[in-house]
Amino acid sequence: MSVQFEDVKIAHERIKDYIHRTPVLTSKTLNTIANAELFFKCENFQKAGAFKFRGATNAVFSLSNEEAQAGVVTHSSGNHAGALALAAKQRGCPAYLVMPVNATKVKKEAVLGYGGKIIECGTTMSSREEVVQQVIADTNAALIHPYNDERIIAGQGTATLELVEEIDDLDAVLAPVSGGGLLSGTAIAAKGLKKDILVYGCEPKNADDAYQSMQSGKLQSIDNPQTIADGLRASLGDKTFAIIKEFVDGIYLVTEEEIITAMKYLWERMKIVVEPSGSVGLAALLRSKPELYGKRVGIILSGGNVDLGNSPF
């Protein structure tokens, strides 16, 4: 395996002065509904509004001065783009962000606010990758892949490193899964600290490539999934799938309606703004999960970048 627990610890040391150590919140109401003791790691309070800032910062500050001078490039529907733009700004290097034309307005505005340059592409993964290669040819910028990158995986794992260190005796951790950077980093960090802890990925039924990949044992992909969870439309990479296949205990699927219901609970009961992608962990627990009844469960609330103009409620 290319990413080790030691890499997560090194990443945390590298980025700790740049990131927020986000709070862990609880809710007695949601504990009762889920029949479990829940601990929410609030990456919606992270800089740039999502956990993505951890991996982006680790990757950008891993570059040599020569590499940084040429800048960085990535493709992203929003959160990774914003995170990379801000990390690049802190390093003092250019950032080129390839974003699909249907990326939300709030996420595009964040990228521009951090000084990033947006290059629009089509809605398919193949379109994203083609435009990225053109940017690299034009600028010689360093590619910081949104998830299939060891530096990104190690950086994302630092959220769970903090969570498991802070909350004693967790039985399980739930994290959203899209490209798999967060989930693979979560699994490495959680099981590096506590060997018998359970780790589950959570994803929309409408974008269930990770579930299909785990079921078949082979990497599956969905080119243009339709889900309200716009941050979960990517498919696993080969690096993330290898880690997830070895260390993740299962994938929970949730419906669009369950994602919206979970968002409402987080907004109304906990008074925190969490985007659809960040709500899938709670959405999974709103279903019957007898294997987690009475357990102490950590949930990664991955981001809070909501376009209120397109709010589902």
pLDDT tens per residue, range 268-284:
999 999 999 999 999 99
Question: Same structural domain for residues 16 and 57?
Answer: no
Question: Same structural domain for residues 71 and 215?
Answer: no
176 close to 182: Cβ distance less than 8 angstroms: yes
Question: Same structural domain for residues 74 and 217?
Answer: no
Residue that terminates a domain, selected from 95, 126, 143: 143
pLDDT in tens, 124-135: 878 989 999 999
Range of the domain at 31: 5-50+150-306
Taking 70 as the threshold, does the pLDDT of residue 68 lie above it?
Answer: yes
175 close to 232: Cβ distance less than 8 angstroms: no
% of the chain beyond a pLDDT of 90: 86
| CB-neighbour burial class of residue 257 (10 A; exposed 0-12, middle 13-18, buried 19+) | exposed
> Residue 123's pLDDT is what?
84
Separation in Å, CA 131 to CA 96, 98, 100, 120, 235:
11, 7, 10, 8, 18
Taking 70 as the threshold, does the pLDDT of residue 97 lie above it?
Answer: yes
Q: Of 279, 271, 303, give the one whose Cα is nearest residue 46.
A: 303
Taking 80 as the threshold, does the pLDDT of residue 69 lie above it?
Answer: yes
> Residue 1's pLDDT is what?
53
266 close to 272: Cβ distance less than 8 angstroms: yes
User: What total of structural domains would you count in the chain?
Assistant: 2
For the chain, state the CA radius of gyration.
Answer: 18
> Residue 313's pLDDT is what?
65
Mean pLDDT of 169-178: 97
76 close to 99: Cβ distance less than 8 angstroms: yes
Question: Same structural domain for residues 39 and 88?
Answer: no
Q: Is residue 311 part of a domain?
A: no
Choose the catalytic residue: 27, 41, 47, 52.
52
**Alpha helix (H) residue ranges in 194-269:** 209-216, 238-247, 256-269
> Residue 23's pLDDT is what?
98
Residue 43 CB coordination number (10 Å): 30
Choose the catalytic residue: 27, 77, 213, 235.
77
Rounded Cα distance between 241 and 85, Å, is 26
pLDDT in tens, 198-234: 999 999 999 999 999 999 999 998 878 899 998 888 8
Instruction: Let me know if 107 is a catalytic residue.
Output: no
Check which CATH number belongs to the domain holding 236 and give it: 3.40.50.1100
Question: Same structural domain for residues 100 and 218?
Answer: no
Question: Same structural domain for residues 135 and 283?
Answer: no
> Residue 241's pLDDT is what?
96
Residue that terminates a domain, selected from 110, 143, 176: 143
Q: Considering the entire predicted model, what is its pTM?
A: 0.94
- What is the H or E stretch that residue 175 is in? strand 172-176
Question: Same structural domain for residues 20 and 160?
Answer: yes
Q: Is 117 left (phi over 0), alpha (psi -120 to 50) or beta?
A: beta
Average pLDDT, the chain: 94
Instruction: Let me know if 77 is a catalytic residue.
Output: yes
120 phi/psi in degrees, rounded to 5: -80, 150
Question: Same structural domain for residues 173 and 40?
Answer: yes
Question: Same structural domain for residues 128 and 62?
Answer: yes
Taking 60 as the threshold, does the pLDDT of residue 245 lie above it?
Answer: yes
Mean pLDDT of 227-253: 94
% of the chain beyond a pLDDT of 70: 99
Lowest mean pLDDT, pick from 100-109, 192-201, 293-302: 100-109
